Structures are given as structure tokens and as C-alpha cells.
Amino acid sequence: MNKKFGRKKAERLETFLLTIPAIILVTIMIYVPFIMSGYYSMTEWNGIAKEAKFIGLENFKSIFTGNNDFVKAIIFTGKYTILFMVLANVIALALAVVLVKKFRLANILRGVFFIPYIISMTIVGFIWKFIFSQGFASLFELTNWGIFNFSWLGDAKLAFYSVVFVGVWQSVGFYIVLYIAGLQAVPTDVLEAATVDGATNSKRFFKVTLPLLLPSIVTCVFMSLTNALKVFDIILALTKGGPGGSTYSVTLDIYREAFQNNNYGLGSAKSLIFFVIVLILTQFVLKIFKSKEV
């Protein structure tokens, strides 16, 4: 009995000692900067001065009263998030339903769709910037189609859809893989029983497959939500927030405020507000899907 108790105590001590490095690393890299940003959000600091001037809640007042750029960035990020979530999940699920079937080019097509996800978002942004400017101009000369003559990055409305398109194009392969894994986990006997009961292909998909696929849908929706809310690098490479600041996301606005305008206090205040927004949204979405899953 004493040996068993001593072994359990040694295992607990070993587990505790092994987790200490991870705890220290997470604390230094995440929790300490978060607490420091909370302090700097109530200061006026340019990042160079030795001491930050404490100004209380003035940064938050300026955001909600006189700073319209941040509100515009929130609206743009919200529209981008909704459109990205819908398109990425619908397209990924539709392609996954096709690619989960056994045919000769299935594995090759899976790799083709997944390749863009491996490429850096910054590189993807520069590639599509070249395509929208130089590539479409060449295609217009060859085909004389008006769609290739539009200013996809110079017009505010078209620039928004261009950013959404590139974001979906780059990430849809990842969601396809998750949906394929979920579709392969659906029990075949359940589908066969539905077929025997006279269910058509559409009814079998919406009444049987889709409810059983809900855990995968929850994962994909949640990940697409978080990825869309923190969109930054693809906009920086593609439009740099233009034209006229119409494609400024919240993360890009925070980056501009802190690292370009050297206003670290206001940038920290914006980041805290955005953190609260993201926290509320993610918890709301998770609560909805958890209730559906039950």
C-alpha cells in the first residue's frame, strides 16, 4: 500500500515538474504581455520614452467618441468574417462531399486544393496582387472580357470581395480535409439503413449525414471565425488597407496605430477592446453549436 502511494506521489511530482517549463513559457509569452498591454492601454506612450504617462481611460474615450477609423475597421472585419465563414464552409463541404467519393483523381485533387494552405499568406497576397494587376490586364487583351478590366484592388467595393476571395482560396483546402475526415467517420450502416427506408440522396445527406457531421462543422466554423477575425497578413500584402482605408481590418488598424503611428497606448486599448469582442463572439458561437449538438 505504501509503495503504491509512493509511486502515485512520484508520478504527480514528475507530471508537475514536466509541466513547469510549459507554464513558465506560456506565462512569459502570453499572460505577462497581456497584463502589460492592460497597463499601457491607460497610458500615453510612444514606445521610445523611458516612462509612460498615465492618462486613465482617455484612450478608450477617444476610441468610442472621436476615432471613427477603429469603428470602420470593426465593420469591415465583421463583414469579412461573415462572408469568409459562409463561403469557406459551404465551398469546403461541397468539395469534400465530392472528393470523399472514390474516383481516380480524388487524391490528386485533395492535394491540389490543400497546396494553397501550405503557402504563406503574405506570399499568397503578393501572388494575387500580381494576378489582379498584371495577370488580369493580359487576360483582358487576349479575351476582351470586361471582368478582367475591372479595378479589383483600386475600387473600394471590389477590393473587399478580392480580399475575401483570396482568403477563401487560400484556406478552403484546410477545411476540406476536416470535412473529409468527418464524412469518412459517418457510419456506413446508418446510411445503408436510410437507403433501405427509401431516403433519397438529398434527404440522406440533410437528415442523416449533416447531423452526424455536426462536430466537424463546429470545428470548421469556429476555426474559420477565429481566422477571419485576426486577418492581417493577406490584407497587408494585397491592399495595405486601401483604397482609402476601405480594407483596414482591426488587426491592421492596431498594427498601424502602435507600430506606424508610435501610439502604443491607444494601440493597446484597441487590442483590449478587440479581445473582448472576439471573446464574446467565440463564446456565443460555441454556445449555439453546443446546444445544437446536444
- Pull the grid cell for residue 106: 480524388
The CA distance from 112 to 72, in Å, is 36
DSSP string of 124-159? HHHHHHHIIIIIHHHHHHHH--GGGGS-TTTSHHHH
Q: How far apart, in whole angstroms, are the C-alpha atoms of residue 185 and residue 173?
A: 19
Q: Which residue has the cell 478582367?
A: 148
Neighbouring-strand partners of residue 54: 43
Which tens digits make up the pLDDT trace of 61-70?
Answer: 888 887 678 8
Q: CA angle 220-226-228, nearest 5°?
A: 95
145: CB partners within 8 A, 6+ apart = 139
More confident residue, 85 or 14: 85
* CATH number of this structure's domain 68-261+270-293, picked from the four choices 2.70.70.10, 1.10.10.10, 3.40.30.10, 1.10.3720.10: 1.10.3720.10
Instruction: Give the range among 19-28, 111-120, 148-157, 192-201 with minimum mean pLDDT.
Output: 192-201
pLDDT in tens, 40-55: 899 988 878 888 888 8
Q: How far apart are CA 282 and CA 288, in angstroms?
A: 10
pLDDT beyond 70 at 3: no
Please report where in the chains the cell 433501405 appears, as a residue: 196
Cβ neighbours of residue 213 closer than 8 Å, sequence gap 6 or more: 179, 182, 183, 186
Element (H, E) at 123: helix 121-130
CA distance 141 to 67: 44
The pTM assigned to this predicted structure is: 0.88
Q: What pLDDT does residue 166 have?
A: 94
Which pLDDT tens digit goes with each residue over 136-148? Answer: 888 888 888 888 8
Angle at 218 between CA 216 and CA 220, to 5 degrees: 70
- Residue ranges with strand state E in 13-102: 43-44, 53-54
| Share above pLDDT 70 across residues of the chain, in percent, rounded to a whole number | 96
| pLDDT of amino acid 6 | 67
Tell me if 52 sits within 8 A of 40, measured CB to CB. Answer: yes
